[in-house]
Amino acid sequence: MVELSTDQLRTRLTEAVQLYVTAMGYSPSTVQQRAPMWSAHMLRPGWRCIAAFNSRDELVGVGYGYLGTPGQWWHEQVHRGMLATFPAARVEEWMGHYFELTELHVRPDSQGRGLGESILRRLLDGAEGRTVLLSTPEGPTRAWTLYRRVGFVDLLRDYHFAGDSRPFAVLGRELPLDAPT
């Protein structure tokens, strides 16, 4: 497991986005749609990436995030949803200075061995922000189990992002993470 620079991720970007597509069960055409977005994210303040490789130097896990700020698409969507649910002061507590856990994926044949938690912990160790926020599709998944195990709480449930018909949950927790049990 290593921390990747933007240049290092760029050289493996297609492989990383293909891992994302596989882990999420998306159409292979999604790679061409997501690669430019991931490249743009690499330019954001506080960006960091952790990747895991197997003995054949194949990417088996990847996670990245950055500081969330007003004006970013995800921030604006979540901010609007939270203002409909919480008082403005509470929204500011969560979103005033947060790290957005943008992507965390493990290749399906490598799941269930603690790799996702290791990537998550390494990514968030030293991440900027008072809190960390993420969104994940609703439903019982290994991701849900991981996020609950490390103390994420519900901020929004059954939330629909513009342009996506699936329900999502927005989860958050304070930083730093507690030590593993």
Please give the pLDDT value at position 25. Answer: 87
> Is residue 180 one of the residues assigned to a domain?
no
CA 153 to chain centre: 15
**pTM (2 decimals)?**
0.95
> Is residue 17 one of the residues assigned to a domain?
yes
Domain of residue 163, CATH code: 3.40.630.30
Pseudo-torsion of CA 141, 35, 99, 172, nearest 10°? -20
What counts of helices (H) and strands (E) characterise the chain?
Answer: 7, 7
> Per-residue pLDDT averaged across 92-117, rounded?
96
> Is residue 71 one of the residues assigned to a domain?
yes
Provide the residue range defining the domain that includes 107.
2-174
Q: What is the pLDDT of residues 61-84, one digit of tens each?
A: 999 999 999 999 999 999 999 999
- Average pLDDT of every residue of the chain: 96
Model confidence at 128: pLDDT above 80: yes
Conformational region of residue 127, where left means phi above 0, alpha means psi within -120 to 50, and beta covers everything else: beta
User: Tokens for 110?
Assistant: 């490598």
Helix axis angle, 88-95 to 73-83, nearest 10°: 150
User: Which residues, at least 6 apart from 180, have a Cβ–Cβ distance to it below 8 Å?
Assistant: 117, 121
> Is residue 120 one of the residues assigned to a domain?
yes
Question: Among 1, 19, 31, which Cα is nearest to 106's?
Answer: 19
% residues pLDDT > 90 (the chain): 87
Q: How many domains does the chain have?
A: 1
% residues pLDDT > 70 (the chain): 100
> Is residue 181 one of the residues assigned to a domain?
no
Determine which one of 20, 66, 147, 159 is catalytic: 147
> Is residue 145 one of the residues assigned to a domain?
yes
Model confidence at 181: pLDDT above 80: no
Helix, coil or strand: residue 37: helix
Model confidence at 2: pLDDT above 80: yes
Q: What is the DSSP string of 49-116?
A: EEEEE-TTS-EEEEEEEEEE-TTSHHHHHHHHHHHTTS-HHHHHHHHSSEEEEEEEEE-GGGTTSSHH
Tell me, yes or no, if 147 is annotated catalytic: yes
Note the residue count of the chain.
181
The Cβ of residue 119 has, within 10 Å, a number of other Cβ atoms equal to 24
Specify burial of residue 67 (Cβ count, 10 A radius: 0-12, 13-18, 19+): middle
Predicted confidence band at 145 (pLDDT cuts at 50, 70, 90)?
A: very high
Q: What is the pLDDT of residues 9-26, one digit of tens each?
A: 999 999 999 999 999 888
Please give the pLDDT value at position 139. Answer: 87
